[in-house]
Amino acid sequence: MLLAATATGRPPNFKVESKMKRSLTVTAEKFPTFLPSDVERIKDTFALKLAARIERLPVQVSFAEDRIMSSCVTPLMRNETSPVVLLHGFDSSCLEWRYTYPLLEEAGLETWAFDILGWGFSDLGKLPPCDVASKREHFYKFWKSHIKRPVVLVGPSLGAAVAVDIAVNHPEAVESLVLMDASVYAEGTGNLATLPKAAAYAGVYLLKSIPLRLYANFLSFNGISLETSWDWTKIGRLHCLYPWWEDAAVSFMTSGGYNVTSLIKKVSQKTLILWGEDDQIISNKLAWRLHGELSKARVEQISDCGHLPHVEKPAAVAKLITEFVRETCRRKEIQSIS
């Protein structure tokens, strides 16, 4: 889970449609002032384009006195289709979606990219608890304040566990699910939850380290150059540069983390399961186990792809999500007529 979550970036054989190339010319981006200044050291044009669009929206939660200014990317358009909300993996951010997000928008979908509490670029200067219940409430209150319609919730890796947890506890917010290379059978943070605080802080310091994140990139992708991996590492650890990041990471680690295995059979929403056939982090055999435990699910495997399909095969992922959303909308129209 740790290694998979830290690997973000574009594989060297990634090809962007010509239309997208034309729209993503290399220009000087104006970044939100709340982003760490190291964002200017990133070379990846797609990451820079998405970083320039990150906003902070207020979210009032029960466990914090002040509203949490919560980071996200908001849609350029609102339309009749179900909103698509993109979560991210463990200790990551919305920048995971830098290649797939513009393709979903190009397809005409109302697309949000949401930073899970404790990760990403929200303002946690007054550190709230970052356990599972707090992450769940934070998302729900964000949805209730800013989206207000049932969504297609997309969760990659540990984000799939986040999505399952939300879908079961707040079914009114989730119309359907897309789970990618889903980390839903892990038993939380395991023994890490019992570590003394000093050892926990040592562990999260390692999590932020450049060598570990470089290694994670090489583990997740084939044929990656050191230069490319270095740029991806800068993207993947950008959110770790906030002064509260270590406290938030320890808060989650010592809380026990996500253990949603018992919730899977309670998911009532229609679900699309996506899995990279060459995933070296979580075996694609678990796609079929997950399919068997969900009442309304189908599986699509993506060939020549590892643990992060939305990074490695963005065109395929965008196509499958778009078809799934449109199918959901057609089904709703038929039901309303009948």
Which residue type does 169 have? N
| Tokens representing residue 308 in the block | 């992060």
**What's the gap between Cα 175 and its chain centre?**
18
What is the SS3 string spanning 284-298?
CHHHHHHHHHCCCEE
Helices 197-208, 210-220: inter-axial angle, 10-degree rounding:
60
Asked if residue 69 lies in contact with residue 123, where contact means CB atoms within 8 angstroms, the answer is: yes
Phi–psi pair at 241, nearest 5 degrees: -85, -5
Torsion of CA 237, 185, 190, 247, to 10 degrees: 30
Phi–psi pair at 140, nearest 5 degrees: -60, -45
Nearest to 151 by CA among 334, 299, 321: 321
* Residue 232 to residue 7: CA distance in whole angstroms: 8
DSSP annotation of 115 reads P
Residues marked active site are found at 157, 279, 307
Residue partners of 296: CB distance under 8 A and separation at least 6: 268, 269, 270, 271
* Residue 262 to residue 184: CA distance in whole angstroms: 10
Tell me the HSE value of 270 on the side-chain side, using a 13 A CA sphere: 13
Cα–Cα distances in angstroms (integers) from residue 276 to residues 120, 186, 284, in the given order? 24, 18, 7
- Residue-wise DSSP of 45-105: HHHHHHHTTEEEEEE--TT-SSPEEEEEE--S---SSPPEEE---TT--GGGGTTTHHHHH
